[in-house]
Amino acid sequence: MHVINDFFLLIWSERLNQQAVFDEKHKRELDQIRSTTFDNFCDSAAILLIINPHNFANMARLEEPKTVLKTLFQHTIFSKETIQYAQSQLLGYLIYLGNVQINHAILKRLELLKKEGIISYDALRSLGSILSLIEEKKIEVTALHVKRATPQENYYKTALYRLFVAIENLKGAVELPRLQERLHLIPERLENQRFSIGITGVMNAGKSTMLNALLGKEVLGTSVVPETANLTLIKYAKEPYAVVNFWNAKEWSKIEEGAKSLKSLEAFVKESRAHFGETFNTIITPKGESASIPVESLALYTSAKHSDKKCNLVKSVELYTDLKFVQDGVQIVDTPGLDDPVIQREEITLEYLSECDLMIHLMNAAQAATQKDIDFIIDALLYRNVAQLLIVITRIDAIAEKELQEVIAYTKRSIEARLKEQNKGAKLDEVIAKIVFIPIAGKLALMHKLGQEKEALALGYDMERTGLPLVETYLEDVLFGSNSQKANLIISSNRKEIESIIIESMASFEQERHYLTISHEEIEQAYAKHQEEKTVMAHFLEQIKTSVAQSKEEMEHYFGTLQKFANNQLDKLSYVVKRRISDDVSYEFSKNKKAPKEERIGSMIETAMKDGLVDLVRDYRYEFQKKMQSSLEYMDAQYGEFKSDTSAHHFDARAFCEEHLGSLLIFKNSTIVISGANDAIKKYGKNDLNMLSTALDAILGTEFLHVKEMLEEKLHKINHVLLSSFVSLCEAPARLIEERFSAEEALLEKAMRQMRDATHNREARSVEIEEKVRVMGIVLNDLSATKESK
């Protein structure tokens, strides 16, 4: 060991009588002293190293050098031999450690001794040169493998794969259990994401044929007699099966109530009651029955031809398939025709459609742009928050190219005319801008998918000409392209979560590295200070808990206030609808001596109801947002001095309302009230306006009672989520503060345990942390690059 030999030549001006060899029997004792009393170890090492021939006699008279000799090496005799032996063993131990941080700590003590005049400048320089000769020991730590992401078939899948790769890379780097748990939840959340496609159209529009072509298999019936007379949800499962959901008693009672006003519905109810007789109540129950069945048996429940009338009692069907089209989280809402006589089914259908990410409306080229089509298109784009509507014109193989262009032009003219009828002509450009037209030959496309391409080609249609590839490209782009709002939201929110986990982990590692460089006394001081701050923090958290409880109670009370507000708005809307009908009837009879056209009354009621309900929802959201803003500002103020500790947490009432109230829409079919109003006009409009007013009160009273029930039921569900989310939002900063304090406390306790652990290797741990931080840095850079390349 040349360092030890150099020490004795430089300090003692002599060589050791025997070869300098570190005796490892001293390792355990020295490790124990260094781990438990780091400062004392460094002090003792400095005192031992400064003993030389020039100060030996003076040092022998002092108690401290003797104590050092006894503490470090259990020698009680202070002699040249014992001192030289102790110095050689200490240097051997420092060489064994190869820890530059410890050497620097000893050098700092030597500098203090020089400053106090205890050693000379030459002695300091000599000892400093000796310590500098001790080489830093290289700690071997197995490098963590970093997997790199590769491009996938579309933007969303590529971005998704990058997130999964990032998570995989972080599994070996993230240590805190709380952060590991958060990391573990992300893949499950990503795999459960769903992209919904709503399919609408009148009966015989070709919905089933197009869906079968998209799915690549004849899953749905395509007869002119509708096979999918019910709402059908198509989802993915490894093992195909189906679930049939029947109406519950309350839902069926509404159907029977509607049958009193609508003859088509009356015949449907009578047929159903007569056919099932006493068994009716075993199928239509208060709770609502469901049956899981093989896919092959589906027609026995849904087919108008084969179900033995069971399709009358079915509300909806869930069809689970292993087909590729629905593998990546895609689910399809296949609706019954818009001309379905069971109008209650339309309301349920619209509820499902309101949550779809994309809507496709089909129109038969030979029967395009019916009144039902146009009304649905306008309704979807003006009232249902549909951002873009794909209109698929089907069966184009039955018409000429020139006729196809006329169908599109006619559809646009019909939309314009209908908007003008409703005094919404100014909305034309807004509506048309949201529509994309794609013509297809669905049956011929299905032939290609089923291996019958020769027959399709014989008719002059290759796959490209059928138009289906355009639909598939459109769906791919809207759902999974770089401009997909939902795809970007999913990627962005989960990327931010991963980044947050990395940043918290790196901060924790940085804090731990700091604790690895300081003394045991400094760690204990830091722990004591932390406990003082923790007491203050606990008192603060108790105040926050009280404030949150008060805010929760206020919010619960406010829900009742909002319900009354909504009911008052509905009462006003009922009065407005009645006044418009009465004024129009009075005007027509006084000027033209006849009743207004039924279509006009229908349009008036439909428009007034939709506009009124949209206004109601908008006003409800506005009032709620005001209250929410006030409550959140109050909570924000409560955090006071701790605000900086919550990672600049800011409450956002608008974002909260958008997230939780964005889907608050009311879907009510007005067919019954329109029919009732027209009947009342025929009966009383000409001779008795007072009786007409009374009849309209009864009709509208029943209608708006149903609307109030619908709204109350919807708000009951939403309010539960709102309250839970509100409380969670208010408590979030407090949780962050508490988690930070707990994490810091755990690090301090870990540091103190490590100080007492003689086997703990600070240097190895420091290198291990460095490797994990390196991996996190790579992942963080990759995530940032992904964000910038979008």
DSSP state of 383: H
Interval 233-243 mean pLDDT: 92
**Contact present, 280 and 273 (Cβ < 8 Å):** yes
Give the 3-state DSSP-derived string for 735-757, with helices as H, strands as E and coil as C: HHHHHHHHHHHHHHHHHHHHHHC
Is the pLDDT score of 267 beyond 90? Answer: no
As a whole number of angstroms, the distance between CA 695 and CA 698 comes to 5
Q: Which of 26-40, 437-451, 488-502, 766-780 has the lowest mean pLDDT?
A: 26-40
The number of beta carbons lying within 10 Å of the beta carbon of residue 738 is: 17
User: What are the φ/ψ torsions at residue 438 (nearest 5 degrees)?
Assistant: -135, 120
**Contact present, 519 and 38 (Cβ < 8 Å):** yes
Is the pLDDT score of 647 beyond 50? Answer: no
Is the pLDDT score of 80 beyond 70? Answer: yes
Q: Is 28 exposed, middle or buried (0-12, 13-18, 19+ CB in 10 A)?
A: exposed
pTM value?
0.76
pLDDT band at 226 (very low <50, low <70, confident <90, very high): very low
pLDDT band at 1 (very low <50, low <70, confident <90, very high): low
Q: Is 216 exposed, middle or buried (0-12, 13-18, 19+ CB in 10 A)?
A: middle
Q: Residue 323 contacts by C-beta under 8 Å, 6 or more apart in sequence?
A: 215, 216, 217, 219, 236
* Chain segment 37-75, per-residue pLDDT in tens: 778 889 999 999 999 999 999 999 999 999 999 989 888
Is the pLDDT score of 659 beyond 80? Answer: no
pLDDT at residue 17 in the model? 67
**Contact present, 14 and 86 (Cβ < 8 Å):** no
Is the pLDDT score of 649 beyond 70? Answer: no
As a whole number of angstroms, the distance between CA 170 and CA 291 comes to 44
* 33: helix, strand or coil: helix
Give the 3-state DSSP-derived string for 496-507, with helices as H, strands as E and coil as C: HHHHHHHHHHHH
As a whole number of angstroms, the distance between CA 657 and CA 653 comes to 6
Is the pLDDT score of 222 beyond 60? Answer: no
Q: Which of 332-341, 546-555, 557-566 has the lowest mean pLDDT?
A: 332-341
The average confidence (pLDDT) of the chain is 87
Looking at the chain, the whole-number percentage of residues with pLDDT higher than 70 is: 94
Interval 493-498 mean pLDDT: 94
Q: Domains of the chain, with CATH numbers?
A: 2-133 (no CATH), 141-192+486-516+760-790 (no CATH), 195-247+317-479 (3.40.50.300), 518-756 (no CATH)
DSSP state of 686: T
